[in-house]
Structure 1
C-alpha cells in the first residue's frame, strides 16, 4: 500500500461492465514530506468516497480489488486523517 493525493477525476461514459458505477479518481503518490511526485499520475477506483485534495491509502494489486469484485489494479481503500512518525 502507499499514500497518494487525489488531484482530479475521470469521467467515462463508456467503460467495462466491471467498472459500471465506479468512481475513478486521478491520484499522485506522495513522498515523505507529502509532496506529490509529479510524473506519476495514475487512475484508481474509489471505494470509500474520497474527494479532491484528500490524502488517500492505495491498495496496489489485483488481489484486493478482485476481492471487492472491482476490475482494477489500484483501489482507494482509506482516507488519511493523520500520519504519525517518530
Structure 2
C-alpha cells in the first residue's frame, strides 16, 4: 500500500464487465512529506474520495479482491487519510 493525492478523474462510458458503476480517479503517489513519489496511476474508488484528498492505495491482486476475482482492477482506493503521525527520531 502507499499514500497518494487525488489529482483528477477519468470518465469512461465503455468499461469491461465488472467495472460498471466504479469511479476512476487519477492519483499521484506521494511520500510522507507530500512530495510526489512516482508515476500517476488510475485507481478504482468506491469510498467517495475527491480531488485534493490524500488516499491509501492498494495495488495488484489484493486490489482485485475488493471488487471480485474477475474484475480487471489493478489499483483501488482503500482509505481516505485524515491525518498521520511520524516519530520524531526517524
Can you list the C-alpha shifts for 1:10-47, whole angstroms capped at 9, x where unaligned? Answer: 0001110211100000001002311223x611100002
Q: Which moved more, 1:60-69 or 1:28-37?
A: 60-69
Unmatched runs of 5 consecutive residues or more in structure 1: none
Counterpart position of 1:85: 86
Unaligned runs of 5+ in 2: none
**Aligned residues between the structures:** 85
Asked if the contact 2:63–2:73 (Cα under 8 Å) also holds between the matched residues in 1, the reply is no
Which structure: larger Rg?
Answer: 2
TM-score by structure 1 length?
0.89
Superposition misfits of 4+ residues, deviation over 4 angstroms: none
CA RMSD of aligned residues (A): 1.4
2: CA distance, partners of 1:9 / 1:50: 10
* Pair 1:26-2:3 in alignment: no
Instruction: Give the TM-score normalised by the residue count of structure 2.
Output: 0.85
